[in-house]
Structure 1
Amino acid sequence: MKMFYLRQPYLLQHLKQINKPVENTDLPRKNSLKTKRTAFVRNSSSFSLSLDSNYHDENGPKIQCTVIFQLENELGLAKSLKYFQDHGVHVLHIESRKNVNDADATEVVCEIEGTENSIMSASRKIKPSSLTYSASEEVSSIKESDEYEYVWFPRKITDLDNIAHRVLILGEELDDDSPGSNDPEYRKRRKMFTQVALNYKQGTPIPIINYLPSEKQTWGKVYKKLSSLYVKYACREFLSNFPLLSMYCNYNENNIPQLEHVSAFLKETTGFTLRPVAGYLSSRDFLSGLAFRVFNSTQYVRHPSLPFYTPEPDCIHELLGHMPLLADRNFAAFSQEIGLASIGASNAEVEKLSKLYFFTVEFGLCRQEGVVKAYGAGLFSSAEEFEHAMTTPEKQREFNLEQIMDMECKVTTFQDYYYITESFTDAVQQLRQYAANIKRPFGVRYNPYTQSIETVSTTRHISSYARDIKAELTNLMTCLDNIELASKLATDHIESLHSNDESTEDIRSLSDKEKLDVINEMMNGH
């Protein structure tokens, strides 16, 4: 398999020009982007792509890039897309948006895949002045085969903006038999929540919602009912984090927490953040968010006529069900691993992963100190099913991946069975074993520094990955050495205090925790 690099010489050539500081540093971000965009337009005639000669192939390995061009009319779009089609360039994703420089103009964002020559040929056909930007990244040359078909996936956290609006069912589009479908005020309210979600951009503050008294009343009824069940049946991780949410995010019977506040709390505890969503996302799009440690959450509240039932996830489900465990490091890592496993996977594999997610994260049970406890968000937000799952032993089964893949995910009735894992670690291990069998010609890793998904498909990628791991291991060994040294100092200090004490040998056998306690006393001057 040959590796190649897609370059943009004009980006380097004009880097200083594009990044010149503006005189007025208080200008809004829009003007800053306008300056950069103008520079791209001015220099678009120098747009070029090149490959290292060592990797050149007359057939051309496949590359991926994003192009943005301005439309004069609908005919222009059809013509541009035909240029791509005629040159064998595959359009992976397309969307239109308003031009920041001209409110009356429309520009099109296309993520494309093809050979160097085909992309160059198609790009030359597009009016040069309309090509305002082209971004690219290093990718592996993935040959089409019966075993793998390329699937587009977000690579940067900001790419989540491209999928957040692809909801299967908008929050305002209620079925005729859904609670509130015949309530015009409720439908109007849901439409407002939909607009908030669709207008949201990744990384910006989540809008604060002024919840209605009726919505707070519904929340309060559910909160009060479930609180008594949590004490009896919830896992220790849930019970440890729930008080923290009360303390830092104002969780209580009379208040609906704001996603913005909960997101800030999760960011500091496990690195997860929230983003508002208008309704159901596809399994692929939802799991993609988890890969970035982003949880798509609704903000609307179920209809007050049925406070203990909802056919779709609402903010009560998200806030009471998911947030306490997303504040747990092990569970957060488990959620992200499911998301990463879905990246680039086939539709069939994503469907299986969504079942795994459903019967663990949503309706999972675990065994703690020999007692079955719940950790599923679907249980934590549904009082009736919560009690049913915990008081009906015949509905509880040991975790079995093969059985889970054959199960039906039910959203309007109770599940047929609830599966018990020995621990979160056990669930993660089984997930990893399953993910290892997913067929894709690359691995993936999340880069928290750039908030991006990196593909691992070449020896160069592996070397880079290994260097990062080596650096972490070196730091870990340094920490262990420091702890060992501190432990020795603590022992010597104790021996000096008890030099005439016959129990010196017993002191040598102090546990690491006891030694650290002594170290703390030493640091505090005792």
Structure 2
Amino acid sequence: EINMPSNGARRDSLVYQASIERGRIEGLKRENTIKKRKELSRQVSFKEVVEKLNDDGLELIKHTPDNEVPRLIVIINSYGDSLNLLSQIIQKFSTNGVNLRHVETRPDKAHPGELEILTEIETKKVVLMNVLDQLVTEKIERIEIKAVDRPAIVQDIQWIPIHVSDLDKCAHVVCKYEPTEDPKHPGYGDEAYIKRRAQLNSIANCYRHGEPLPEVHYTEQEHETWKHAYLALKDLRETHTCIEYQRNIRAMEELGLITADKIPSLRSLGSYVQKKTGFQLRPCGGLLSARDFLASLAFRVFQTTLYIRHHSKPHHCPEPDVIHEILGHCPMFADPEMAQMSQDIGILSLGASDEQIEKLATVYWFIVEFGLCEQEGKLKAIGAGLISAFGELQHAVSNVPDHPRFEPEVCAMKTYEDSDYQPMYFVATSIKDAMIKLKKYALSLNHPQITVYDPFTQSVRQIEREEYARDNLKRLRDDVNQLADTMESLKLTKR
């Protein structure tokens, strides 16, 4: 029996993980801001000013030293007699010794009927707050303060792994779709299966960088589940999957790394993939948080589960399992272009905001997990999630769903359907074309720094864009000089 959408569609996803995590962090940030407002209100007499001040302005006031004279933009939104308020502002600034460099008024397009009074000033923060306290009235709706000559206060500096060994700290399973929790999980109520999963997850969670991959001794029932899934997916291989996948899995089979009879050794398979593209396998205890999972890709590390889907549903799993990892990802990570594109997404995630993480996770999910490409005039799967799911693989290349072109900026804004098969699957001209588009999309993220991966030390460093450009220009000059020397040598040889 092949599971259809109502019973078998994927329920847990990297996109969902990212969305949940972003919502949680936004809630914590908001709680922290409210706490800071209360603290500042207790410390000072200008409570009304604090209530009308923007969040960034609140941070700026809190972190500016008392004796510093910063250059600030102060925007006051008001309604009613704005001209009278403007004259009061100018007068109060003057009598309190505030250096007023510029003032202008403009209608607030976002709030009809309100007027923005924008001023550029230089003064100490206590003087500014006292002036605003004298000015604040019920007719002032909002007060916004910005710094002119220094970057905005960075409230949250994201920790990032610097060396591949730091991935020991990147193993957070935020949301679990477990057979112990959801009655719709195929393994729900099966105590033996639940115990076995917990055992395998414990092995994965104990792993540390530098250790050999664990050799798991799977049961006969687990090998039989693998065999059912393997043979069914093999029947669809030539008609439904991309050339890159077929070439790589055939090579693995010819070497005896993948067979129908038993679940392959992750240690042997990982060694093969690493020799092909530098990608390493690392065990994990379930679907990781989006930030941790993407960070691993930056180091060419793929975090793989050890447990297998429930034997009653061998053709679909509602979360990543060892069948998905081996039959879906391993052959694709042996492809240089898929390996590079996956690492590119991972590198973009380092230091990214929570909103950017959600977008990157969505792009990853729609192309690396559920992407299609065109080959020989037909739609073929490049995504590991499709390649390892018998029912959805057939659905994806059929005429039922839509097949828009893969454009990362469009893809990043789409909603992933967790409860059913997708209504659309993005189609890339090729894996290389998808990689090129991803590099262009990276420029739109406006990261202040460039993250560079050093394959020799398996570490990353973040550098300023100007330094990055200089380094690349130097390497380009060196390459051109070497090429010129080679061409000159060839000319001399021919003589």
TM (norm. structure 2) is: 0.65
Q: 2 CA distance for matches of 1:316 and 1:160?
A: 23
Residue 366 of structure 2 contacts residue 411 of structure 2 at CA under 8 Å; is this kept in 1? yes
Give the drift of 1:403: 3.7
Q: 2 CA distance for matches of 1:168 and 1:316?
A: 21
Residue 240 of structure 2 contacts residue 381 of structure 2 at CA under 8 Å; is this kept in 1? yes
Choose the corresponding residue for 1:152, options 159, 163, 168: 159
Q: 2 CA distance for matches of 1:476 and 1:175?
A: 61
Q: For each residue in 1:134-177, what CA deviation from the matched residue of structure 2 results, as whole angstroms up to 9, or x when unmatched? A: xxxxxxxxx76268852211111111001124553286755332
Structure 2 residue 334 is the aligned partner of structure 1 residue 333: no
Q: 2 CA distance for matches of 1:320 and 1:271?
A: 18
Q: Which amino acid aligns with 1:175?
A: D
Q: For each residue in 1:69-98, what CA deviation from the matched residue of structure 2 results, as whole angstroms up to 9, or x when unmatched? A: xxxxxxxxxxxxxxxxxxxxxxxxxxxxxx
Q: 2 CA distance for matches of 1:330 and 1:478?
A: 30
- Provide closer, same or farther for how the CA distance between residues 216 and 464 of structure 1 changes in structure 2, counting only shifts above 3 A: same
Residue 395 of structure 2 contacts residue 401 of structure 2 at CA under 8 Å; is this kept in 1? no
What pairs with 1:291-440 in structure 2 (closer than 5 Å)? 291-392=298-399, 394-440=401-447
- Provide closer, same or farther for how the CA distance between residues 481 and 196 of structure 1 changes in structure 2, counting only shifts above 3 A: farther
Q: 2 CA distance for matches of 1:408 and 1:330?
A: 26
Q: For each residue in 1:248-268, what CA deviation from the matched residue of structure 2 results, as whole angstroms up to 9, or x when unmatched? A: 352111121121111111111
Q: 2 CA distance for matches of 1:158 and 1:249?
A: 31
SS class of match (2:412): helix
Q: 1 CA distance for matches of 2:352 and 2:479?
A: 29
Residue 164 of structure 2 contacts residue 299 of structure 2 at CA under 8 Å; is this kept in 1? yes
Q: 2 CA distance for matches of 1:172 and 1:195?
A: 16
Residue 445 of structure 1 contacts residue 453 of structure 1 at CA under 8 Å; is this kept in 2? yes
- Provide closer, same or farther for how the CA distance between residues 249 and 396 of structure 1 changes in structure 2, counting only shifts above 3 A: same
Give the drift of 1:473: 5.3
More RCO (CA 8 Å, sep 6+): 2
Q: Which amino acid aligns with 1:356?
A: V
Q: 2 CA distance for matches of 1:352 and 1:465?
A: 28
Structure 2 residue 296 is the aligned partner of structure 1 residue 282: no
Q: For each residue in 1:317-340, what CA deviation from the matched residue of structure 2 results, as whole angstroms up to 9, or x when unmatched? A: 111111111101111111111111
Residue 257 of structure 2 contacts residue 269 of structure 2 at CA under 8 Å; is this kept in 1? no
Q: 1 CA distance for matches of 2:360 and 2:420?
A: 21
**Unaligned runs of at least 5 residues, structure 2:** 1-62, 64-149
Q: Which amino acid aligns with 2:225?
A: T
**Unaligned runs of at least 5 residues, structure 1:** 1-113, 115-142, 493-526
Q: Which amino acid aligns with 2:455?
A: P
Give the drift of 1:391: 2.0
Give the drift of 1:407: 2.1
| Residue 129 of structure 1: aligned partner | none
Q: Which amino acid aligns with 1:151?
A: Q
SS class of match (2:176): strand
Count of aligned positions:
347
Q: Which amino acid aligns with 1:190?
A: R
| Residue 522 of structure 1: aligned partner | none
Residue 279 of structure 1 contacts residue 298 of structure 1 at CA under 8 Å; is this kept in 2? yes
Greater CA drift, 459-468 or 317-326:
459-468
Greater CA drift, 385-394 or 215-224:
385-394
Counting aligned pairs with the same residue, the percent is: 35
Q: 2 CA distance for matches of 1:315 and 1:240?
A: 21
Give the drift of 1:410: 2.7
Q: 2 CA distance for matches of 1:173 and 1:277?
A: 19
SS class of match (1:217): helix
- Provide closer, same or farther for how the CA distance between residues 453 and 166 of structure 1 changes in structure 2, counting only shifts above 3 A: farther
SS class of match (1:398): coil
Q: Which amino acid aligns with 1:325?
A: M
Residue 450 of structure 2 contacts residue 468 of structure 2 at CA under 8 Å; is this kept in 1? no
SS class of match (2:426): strand
Structure 2 residue 188 is the aligned partner of structure 1 residue 184: no
Q: 2 CA distance for matches of 1:339 and 1:249?
A: 31
| Residue 445 of structure 1: aligned partner | 452
Structure 2 residue 205 is the aligned partner of structure 1 residue 198: yes
SS class of match (1:253): coil
| Residue 107 of structure 2: aligned partner | none
- Provide closer, same or farther for how the CA distance between residues 211 and 404 of structure 1 changes in structure 2, counting only shifts above 3 A: same
Q: 2 CA distance for matches of 1:458 and 1:382?
A: 42
Greater CA drift, 385-394 or 274-283:
385-394
| Residue 101 of structure 1: aligned partner | none
Residue 228 of structure 2 contacts residue 314 of structure 2 at CA under 8 Å; is this kept in 1? yes
What pairs with 1:94-113 in structure 2 (closer than 5 Å)? none
SS class of match (1:169): coil
| Residue 216 of structure 1: aligned partner | 223
Give the drift of 1:369: 3.3
Give the drift of 1:454: 1.0
Q: Which amino acid aligns with 1:430?
A: K
Q: 2 CA distance for matches of 1:258 and 1:282?
A: 26
Structure 2 residue 277 is the aligned partner of structure 1 residue 270: yes
Q: Which amino acid aligns with 1:226?
A: L
Q: Which amino acid aligns with 2:260?
A: E
Q: 2 CA distance for matches of 1:410 and 1:164?
A: 25
- Provide closer, same or farther for how the CA distance between residues 363 and 485 of structure 1 changes in structure 2, counting only shifts above 3 A: farther
- Provide closer, same or farther for how the CA distance between residues 144 and 185 of structure 1 changes in structure 2, counting only shifts above 3 A: farther
Choose the corresponding residue for 2:252, options 240, 245, 248: 245
- Provide closer, same or farther for how the CA distance between residues 248 and 220 of structure 1 changes in structure 2, counting only shifts above 3 A: same
Residue 171 of structure 1 contacts residue 194 of structure 1 at CA under 8 Å; is this kept in 2? no
Structure 2 residue 170 is the aligned partner of structure 1 residue 163: yes
Q: For each residue in 1:476-504, what CA deviation from the matched residue of structure 2 results, as whole angstroms up to 9, or x when unmatched? A: 6667778x679x97xx9xxxxxxxxxxxx
SS class of match (1:356): helix
Q: 2 CA distance for matches of 1:155 and 1:190?
A: 31
Q: 2 CA distance for matches of 1:337 and 1:413?
A: 29
Residue 167 of structure 1 contacts residue 279 of structure 1 at CA under 8 Å; is this kept in 2? no
SS class of match (1:372): strand
SS class of match (1:296): strand
TM (norm. structure 1) is: 0.61
Q: For each residue in 1:99-146, what CA deviation from the matched residue of structure 2 results, as whole angstroms up to 9, or x when unmatched? A: xxxxxxxxxxxxxxx9xxxxxxxxxxxxxxxxxxxxxxxxxxxx7626
| Residue 457 of structure 1: aligned partner | 464
Greater CA drift, 393-402 or 158-167:
393-402
